[in-house]
Amino acid sequence: MAWLQQNAENKSSPLRKASVGSGLRGTVACGVDIGSTNLKVVLLDDEGTIVRRARVATPRDAAGLSIDTAALMRSLEEMILAACGDAYAVAAVSVAGIGEDGVLVDGSMRVLTDALSWFDPRRKRIFRSFKRALHDDELFDAYTDPARTMTGWKWSREQQLDAAATHWLAVTDFPGSRWSGRAFMSDTLASRTGAWRTSDRSWDRERVELTLGTMSLLPPVLAAGEVVGNLRIPSLLAAGVVVDSALVVAGGHDHPIGGWGVHQLSPGAVLDSMGTAEVVVLQAPEQQHHRQEGVDFAPGIRSDGRTLMRVEELSRNVAWASQDPDVGRCIRALIDGGLKPASVLQARHFRPGGRGGGRPSYSLDAPRDAHARASAVLGALAIAGAEAVEAVRAEATTVPVVRSAGGWSRSPGWLRIKESVSGYAAVPVGEPEVTAASAALLAATALGWSPDPKMIFSGA
C-alpha cells in the first residue's frame, strides 16, 4: 500500500486557530478510546500537547454485558462538547477500541441488535454450534475461538431481526460511521473476526456466510488512518466545537493503534499493555509468512508491514485466585509493593486460564500458604507475559526495547516481579491513555500535522 500517497487529497489542514461562530478557538485532533470499562477522549494540538481529556464509564445494559449504543453516542458527543468547552474546535476525530463487539444496523444506521460482548459467557454455546464446520484456521489473522467476531455475527442472525438490516458495524467503528454517514470497518477490526486475511486483504466467503449469513452485510474495509468523510454532528456544529471541514479518520482495534503510537515514540518498540488483559504488540516492518504460537496478526498501521499481537489473561486469573480472601489480600499487597514475593515465583504452581476461557488452577503440589499462593499466581502471570514478549520479539529484526502501559504498569511491586522473572526492565510510557492519545495522533496525521510523539506520550 502506497502510504506516502495516503490522504493526498486532504493537504489543506485547518489553521491553529479557527473562527467558529462568534469566537476564535484552537483547532485540535480528537482521539477516542472505547474500552470495555471506560470511554476516553483526548484533544491534541498540532505541536503534540494534550490540551484536554475526559473519561466516563462505558454505558452497558442492565445485565452489564452489552454496550448500550444509544447511550454510547450520547456520552461521546457530550464528552467532546465538554472537553472543547469554549476554547477548542475539533478538526479531525479517530476512534479506537474493543475488537469484537458489533451490531446490525439499517440504512439510516439505526441499531437493530444488541452487541454481544467479547467476554459474554453465551459465546461458548454459540461458537460450539458452528465450530466443526471451520477449517484452515492458520490462514486467518486471529486464532479462532469463542471471542472472535464470527460468534457475534452468528448471535446477530439468531435474534429477531428487522428485515431492513444493511450492515454489520463494529461498536468501535459505529461512532465514525454515524458521524460521517458512511458505513465502514477498520482493517484491524476485520482481523479480529476470524474470517479476514491480511495477506491478501480478503474475506473468506464460507466463514462469513456460515455465521453472518451474507457477504452483503459487510461494509467496506478501510485502513487505519484513511479519511472516512466529514464529521457531521449537528449538535456539536451548532455549539461551535467542530470546524466545518472536520474529518472522520478510520481508527480500529485499540491494541494495534496503541502499539503504533508507542512505535512513533520508540521506533521498533514492543508495547506491553497491562489492563484487563496483558496485550503485547509489535509493529513489524515486513509481512510475516509464518506465525509464532499464540500470536495474532493485524495489518500494519500506516505501513506495509504487520502488527503482531499476543493476549494473556490478567484480571480474570487474579479474580479467580482472589476468591480466597487471604490470597486476594496478599496479591494486592504484592502488586502495590508492600509485600515481598515468596520464593515460588517461577515454580509454576499456578496454571493461568487463557485463550477461549480456560479455567485457572493450582498444581497438585502448590503450597497452601496464602502468601506463597499469591506469589505463585503473580509469578505465573509474569512468566506468561514474558513468553508473550519473546513470541512477538522473535519476529523483530533487532532486539527491541519494551515499553509498558496500562493500569498495572503503575504498580511498583508488579513491575519488580515482572523484571525478576523476565530479566528485562520495561520502560513505562508516561501518558496514561495510550490508545486515545494514539488515535488522536492518527487523526492529526491525517490532517497533515506533525506533532511531537515525545510530547504526546510524556504524560506531562
Share of the chain above pLDDT 90, in %: 72
- Out of 33-37, 245-249, 289-293, which region has the weakest mean confidence (pLDDT)? 289-293
Predicted TM-score (pTM) of the model is 0.89
Q: Which residues pair with 19 in a beta bridge?
A: 24
Question: Residue 212 pLDDT > 80, yes or no?
Answer: yes
Q: Which of 151, 116, 158, 155 is CA-nearest to residue 134?
A: 151
Question: Residue 302 pLDDT > 80, yes or no?
Answer: yes
Residue 339, H or E segment: none
Question: For strand 350-351 and strand 361-362, is the pairing parallel, antiparallel, or unpaired?
Answer: antiparallel
Residue pLDDT, tens place only, 41-53: 999 999 999 999 9
pLDDT classification of 456: cutoffs 50, 70, 90: very high
* Cα–Cα distance, 356 to 389 (Å, whole number): 20
Q: What is the mean pLDDT of the chain?
A: 89
With a CB cutoff of 8 Å and minimum separation 6, the contacts of 204 are 139, 140, 195, 196, 197
Report the 10 Å Cβ neighbour count for 34.
28
Grid cell for residue 410: 503503575
For 344-367, give the DSSP string. Answer: TTTS--EE---TTTPPPEE-TT--
* Cα–Cα distance, 161 to 111 (Å, whole number): 10
Residue pLDDT, tens place only, 150-200: 999 999 988 866 568 999 999 999 999 999 999 999 999 999 999 999 888
pLDDT classification of 10: cutoffs 50, 70, 90: very low
- 152 — alpha (psi -120 to 50), left (phi > 0) or beta? alpha
Grid cell for residue 34: 472505547
* Cα–Cα distance, 181 to 228 (Å, whole number): 9
